[in-house]
Amino acid sequence: MSEQTEDSQAWLGPLITKVSSILGKGFEDVRYEVSVPTDSFFISNLFFVNVVSNASPVDHDEAKKRAKSIKCIVVKKMPQEILQEMMRSREQFHNEILFYQKYAQYYDRVPRCIYATEEPLSPDSVIVMENVGIERGYSVCKWKYDTPLEYTLAAFREIARFHAIAYATKRTREKEFFDFANAIQEFRFEPESKLRYMYNGTATRSLDFLRKQGYDKDFCDKFEARCVNTFEDLIFKFVEIEEPLSTLCHGDFTINNILFKKKGDGLKVIFIDFAMVRYGSPILDLSTFLCLHCARDLDKVMLDNVLRVYHDSLIQCLKENDIDVGDYSYEALYEDYKKRGLFGFFIATFFLAIQMGKFEGEIETFAKLEPTEWSALSRQIGGEEVDEILANMLLKLKEFGCLDYIL
């Protein structure tokens, strides 16, 4: 057992006692086994816990016995103190708990939330969910970048369904929907956010490579001038609410928060981690995924193909929910991508290298630095290889029309 799991015992024992009373008959008397996931990137403290009933099932079939006597759960707790302020962990836990308590009833493809408690003035907020990996057979994608098209399309079909259900809920349960949406706490895109140092400091990383290659100096100069205040002048515009296309976004639509399961010739998808949910353009989700996980493949043809798959799934789900699809044309989606598609690109300027495993340090390294120093470190991670990927992606997005609105 790791040091982290050993340290968890003091608070985890009482929590499991609370949770066991919720798990149902046969779990009045339990023991538990703890492990820490290592196959993905997590900021919060995350524990996989097998809660084992000490009661003896009456069924004599061994497989059924085991299934009835073990519940596999995920326990999510605040990260260590050094990361809490940097990551705005309290707001993140508030938003995820809010999602499960007020919205998950409308969207069914999420893990079951078994228990959650929010402690705004302490680091003791906790969320307990079913482990869909063991309980339902889902698993993480092994490709963290250069994600195969099959997985991208599966993810886009399901995020289309997520967005469509939000459109439907907004139309049919307007008050409940906006009561929920208005209770989401903003912690990223506000004037005093420390993230501005990251966005503003890395936005032009791609130009390092383009200038070395002798690319159009006029273009490079114009883009550099436009990105002086990327966070304030561009990101704030991208996240503005604009009807009717605004919907509930996952907010952190990355491969780390998507689990897959083979079914026949296709893939089923389930989403996790709703700490960054927000109301805004669906392009916030789509561009984030594409620029982080399809950076080398992202060109006009590929982008048009995945957007059409997304749109087909969106329209199908809207029709299933008896929603007029007139406001959700492909042309409107395409134009919205041109307007906001750089949102994901600017995230990639500081996070793609980390997603590619190029950062050999710990995330705590950033927490120990002044925010003004974050971008200098980020621009170095991955070196010229990442510079080139970002440069090529920028030119492809330019070809698609994503720079038409800013240059």
Which runs of consecutive H residues, i.e. helices, occur in 136-203? 149-172, 174-183, 195-202
* CATH assignment of the domain containing 59: 3.30.200.20
- The band of 84, judged by pLDDT with boundaries at 50, 70 and 90, is confident
**Lookup: tokens for 153:** 């399309």
At position 370, the amino acid (one-letter code) is E
Are both 221 and 245 inside the same structural domain?
yes
Residue 67 lies inside a defined structural domain of this protein: yes
Average pLDDT over residues 289-316: 97
Residue 9 — pLDDT band, cuts 50, 70, 90? Answer: low
The tens digit of pLDDT for each residue in 343-364 reads 999 999 999 999 999 998 888 8
Please report the pLDDT score of residue 158 as a whole number.
Answer: 98
Residue 4: per-residue pLDDT: 46
Looking at the fold, whether 277 and 375 belong to one and the same domain comes out as yes
| pLDDT: which is higher, 14 or 163 | 163
Judged against a pLDDT cut of 50, whether residue 3 lies above it is answered with: no
pLDDT band at 79 (very low <50, low <70, confident <90, very high): confident
Q: How confident is the model at residue 86 (pLDDT cuts 50, 70, 90)?
A: confident
Q: For 204-230, how does the pLDDT look when each residue is reduced to its tens digit (9 = 90+)?
A: 999 999 999 999 999 999 999 999 999
The larger pLDDT score, comparing residue 15 to residue 39, is at 15
> What is the structure's pLDDT at 59?
53
Q: Which residue has the higher pLDDT, 246 or 46?
A: 246
Share of the chain above pLDDT 90, in %: 78
Contact 162, 310 (CB under 8 A): no
Give the list of residues 6+ apart from residue 367 with CB closer than 8 angstroms, or none. Answer: 82, 83, 86
Model confidence band, residue 108 (pLDDT cutoffs 50, 70, 90): confident
Task: Copy the structure tokens of residue 16.
Answer: 């499991």
Radius of gyration of the chain from Cα atoms? 22
**pLDDT, greater one: 11 or 160:** 160
Token pair 């969106």 in the structure block, residue: 314
User: Please, are residues 272 and 240 in contact by the beta-carbon 8 Å criterion?
Assistant: no
Lowest mean pLDDT among 35-49, 303-317, 318-332, 357-371: 35-49
Rounded to a whole number, what is the largest CA-CA distance in the chain?
77
Which percentage of the chain shows pLDDT scores above 70?
Answer: 93
Residue 93 and residue 77 in contact, taking contact as beta carbons nearer than 8 Å = no
**Whether 32 and 86 share a structural domain:** yes
Q: Note the pLDDT of residue 2.
A: 40
131 and 155 belong to one structural domain: no
> Does the pLDDT at position 375 exceed 50?
yes
Residues 226 and 210 in one domain: yes
Q: Is 76 a domain residue?
A: yes
19 and 113: one domain? Answer: yes
Q: Are residues 295 and 203 in the same domain?
A: yes
Q: What is the mean pLDDT of residues 12-17?
A: 89
44-53, 216-225, 281-290: segment of lowest average pLDDT: 44-53
65 pLDDT above the threshold of 70: no
Q: Is the dihedral of CA 152, 157, 162, 163 positive or negative?
A: positive
From CA 102, how far away is CA 114, in angstroms rounded? Answer: 14
Residue 67 has pLDDT above 80, yes or no: no
* Residue where one domain finishes, among candidates 111, 135, 159: 135
DSSP summary character for residue 233 = I
Over residues 133-154, the mean pLDDT reads 95
Domains of the chain: total: 2
Asked whether the predicted pLDDT for residue 177 surpasses 70, the reply is yes
Domain that holds residue 115: 3-135
What count of residues does the chain have? 407
> 187 and 120 in one domain?
no
Q: Is the pLDDT at 38 greater than 90, yes or no?
A: no
Domain finish residue from 135, 157, 184: 135
